[in-house]
């Protein structure tokens, strides 16, 4: 599992700990990589994920190759099942998770994006094979809005809506039927009372992948994943290995 921090985070490990991913990896037996993004002119760590987010200095740093190297390096040091490589990113890291699903599809079984979306121009995403995608989005997120917009409301290229991102992946992954709701909501975010998260997904996709959306009702940009929420993410990952590997 490669954990990708958000824009301006102090570093990969600190961000992964704050989201509960270190504890999740320890509990579930995941190998966890927590890389750091490049520091920009504002002193903030970032990933060059898409034209919308978040290489504001236009450095062109190649974070796709960097994360590809991280995956390769981890596999050379510890036993990693190549059919079970997952990327989980928050905000800017979620944007990069989508980018990696587009560009490194043969090496990634699935991506989990929390409050980060894909390319607005869907032609820029050309996965060589299907990849499972889980989008987790708070409907009260004022930074990455469900209806799309521009990061920090700056004069930047637009990012797509949540529905546009899901529709893109349904098309790229060859999903036939429309999205179907799961029967029961889950308690994903400890900052929102009750079982606030509804789940819908496309199941009839190529190679057994799925494209799923978890909507956190009342959820903001930075959730506090509950134990049940983290276990649900782990269950999603463990049930989505790369087909035929």
* HSE, side-chain direction, 13 A CA sphere, residue 48: 15
Going from N- to C-terminal start, the domains of the chain cover 2-238
- Predicted pLDDT at 183: 87
Residue 244 pLDDT: 63
H/E segment holding residue 134: strand 132-138
22 phi and psi angles, rounded to 5 deg: -65, -45
* 45-46/132-138 β-pairing: unpaired
Encode pLDDT of 32-69 as tens digits: 999 999 999 999 999 999 999 999 999 999 999 999 99
CATH of 2-238, picked from 3.40.50.1820, 3.10.100.10, 3.30.70.20, 3.40.50.720, is 3.40.50.1820
Residues 166 and 235: their CA atoms lie apart, in Å, by 20
Q: How confident is the model at residue 243 (pLDDT cuts 50, 70, 90)?
A: confident
pLDDT digits (tens, 9 = 90+) for 191-225: 999 999 999 999 899 999 999 999 999 999 999 99
pTM value is 0.97
**Two tokens at 216?**
């956190």
Task: Tell me what the mean pLDDT of segment 167-191 comes to.
Answer: 93
* Average pLDDT of span 20-42: 97
Using alpha carbons, select from 135, 128, 82, 127 the residue that is nearest to residue 109: 82
């Amino acid at each position: 599992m490669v954990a990708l921090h958000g824009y301006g985070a102090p570093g990969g490990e600190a961000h992964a700990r704050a989201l509960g991913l270190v504890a999740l990896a320890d509990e579930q037996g995941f190998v966890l990589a927590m890389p750091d993004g490049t520091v920009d002119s504002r002193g903030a760590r970032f990933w060059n994920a898409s034209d919308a987010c978040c290489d504001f200095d236009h450095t062109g740093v190649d974070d796709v190759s960097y994360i590809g190297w991280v995956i390769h390096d981890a596999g050379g040091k510890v036993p990693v099942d190549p059919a079970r490589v997952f990327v989980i990113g928050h905000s800017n890291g979620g944007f990069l998770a989508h980018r990696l699903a587009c560009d490194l599809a043969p090496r990634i079984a699935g991506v989990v994006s929390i409050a980060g979306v894909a390319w607005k121009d869907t032609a820029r995403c050309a996965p060589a094979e299907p990849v499972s995608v889980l989008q987790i989005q708070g409907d009260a997120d004022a930074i990455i809005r469900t209806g799309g917009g521009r990061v920090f409301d700056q004069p930047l290229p637009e990012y797509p809506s949540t529905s546009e991102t899901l529709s893109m992946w349904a098309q790229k992954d060859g999903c036939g039927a429309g999205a179907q709701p799961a029967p029961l909501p889950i308690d994903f975010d400890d900052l929102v009372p009750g079982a606030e998260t509804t789940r819908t997904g496309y199941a009839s996709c190529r190679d057994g992948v799925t494209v799923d959306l978890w909507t956190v009702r009342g959820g903001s940009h930075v959730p506090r994943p509950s134990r049940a929420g983290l276990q649900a993410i782990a269950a999603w990952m463990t049930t989505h290995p790369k087909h035929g590997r």
